[in-house]
């Protein structure tokens, strides 16, 4: 097939006029994060802070597409499962990885797999906590389909992780803090609402122990800003303390 532009496909212009799906606004890009969004002192977005008009039930960290139920987990079980994911996030912190943790469980709360970010340790850009947990769950049950299972994540999944979850036919997702730069469940875009998909989540809940997840992220990046020489794998944690002291 011949193309102009030196043999390359013509670029899609801003606003995606060459892509009807994007033109319909299904990605809900920057309009969901106004310039007035809450920011840290250095100007960076606050993890866990909601985009205007997206807070649910008065909880500043809970973000859900309208009409999607929260899922079958009682509050105590839900918090217990998220704390298990947070333990994985703290393990990532101690390894100088971005502190995100995830687990895959049955709808009754039985944990099948858990993981934390290992992008640096594995030299693998796809080694996010959610991806690794989904891989381990699939290996455990011997099936790439994870029908009837749920994913708990300390952070709102990114497009890569959410795409993998949808491909696995996962039942639903529960997450902690919003991800204002990469969140694919309403913060930056909403992949679950993309037209034409043959599978969507049947339940979704955000904001579970969101403050704890957000605090861990803030501590991590404050340490990185305070000590630019902090290389991955070094023992330096927040405020110059040993990462072994992370609770």
Q: Report, as residue numbers or ranges, the catalytic residues.
A: 130
Beta bridge partners of 149: 106
In three-state secondary structure terms, 245 is helix
CA distance 43 to 22: 29
Spell out a b/e string for 105-131, using b for 16 or more CB atoms within 10 Å of the CB, else e. Answer: beeebebbbbbbbbbbeeeeeebbbbb
Q: In the chain, what is the greatest distance between 2 CA atoms, to the nearest angstrom?
A: 60
Handedness of CA 222, 156, 20, 68 (dihedral sign): negative
Place of tokens 């943790």: 101
């Amino acid at each position: 097939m011949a193309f102009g532009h030196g043999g390359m496909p013509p670029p899609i212009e801003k606003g995606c006029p060459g892509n009807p799906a994007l033109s319909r606004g299904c990605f809900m890009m920057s309009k969901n994060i106004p310039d007035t969004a809450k920011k840290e002192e250095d100007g960076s977005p606050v993890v866990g802070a909601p985009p205007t008009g997206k807070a649910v039930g008065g909880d500043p960290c809970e973000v859900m597409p309208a009409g999607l139920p929260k899922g079958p987990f009682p509050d105590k079980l839900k918090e217990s499962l998220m704390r298990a994911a947070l333990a994985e996030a703290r393990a990532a912190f101690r390894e100088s990885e971005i502190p995100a943790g995830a687990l895959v469980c049955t709808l009754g709360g039985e944990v099948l797999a858990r993981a934390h970010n290992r992008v640096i340790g594995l030299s693998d850009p796809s080694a996010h906590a959610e991806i690794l947990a989904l891989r381990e769950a699939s290996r455990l049950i011997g099936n790439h389909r994870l029908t009837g299972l749920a994913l708990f994540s300390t952070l709102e999944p990114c497009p890569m992780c959410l795409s993998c979850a949808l491909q696995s036919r996962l039942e639903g997702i529960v997450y902690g803090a919003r991800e204002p730069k990469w969140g694919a469940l309403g913060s930056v875009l909403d992949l679950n609402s993309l037209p034409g998909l043959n599978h969507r989540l049947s339940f979704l809940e955000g904001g579970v122990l969101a403050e704890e997840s957000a605090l861990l992220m803030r501590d991590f990046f404050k340490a990185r800003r305070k000590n630019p020489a902090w290389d991955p794998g070094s023992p330096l944690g927040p405020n110059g303390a040993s990462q072994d002291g992370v609770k």
